[in-house]
Amino acid sequence: MTMPGNELVSRIKNLLPELERVYTDIHAHPELSMQETRTARIGADHLRGRGYEVTDGIGETGVVGFLRNGDGPTVMLRADMDALPVREQTGLPYASTQMATDSTGKTVPVMHACGHDMHVTWLMGAATLLAETQDAWKGTLMLVFQPAEETGRGAQAMVDAGLLGRFPKPDVILGQHVMVGPAGSIGSRAGV
Over residues 110-143, the pLDDT tens digits come to: 999 989 999 999 999 999 999 999 999 999 999 9
Tens digit of pLDDT for each residue in 55-70? 999 999 999 999 999 9
Q: Is the separation of the CB atoms in 154 and 147 below 8 Å?
A: yes
Give me the helix-helix angle, 5-28 and 37-49, nearest 10°: 150
Those residues whose C-beta lies under 8 Å from the C-beta of residue 161, and which sit 6 or more positions away, are 58, 59, 60, 62
**pTM over the 0.75 mark:** yes
Those residues whose C-beta lies under 8 Å from the C-beta of residue 171, and which sit 6 or more positions away, are 73, 74, 75
Mean pLDDT of 40-53: 98
Report whether pLDDT(2) > 70: no
Those residues whose C-beta lies under 8 Å from the C-beta of residue 13, and which sit 6 or more positions away, are none
The predicted pLDDT at position 156 comes to 96
Q: Is the separation of the CB atoms in 142 and 64 below 8 Å?
A: yes
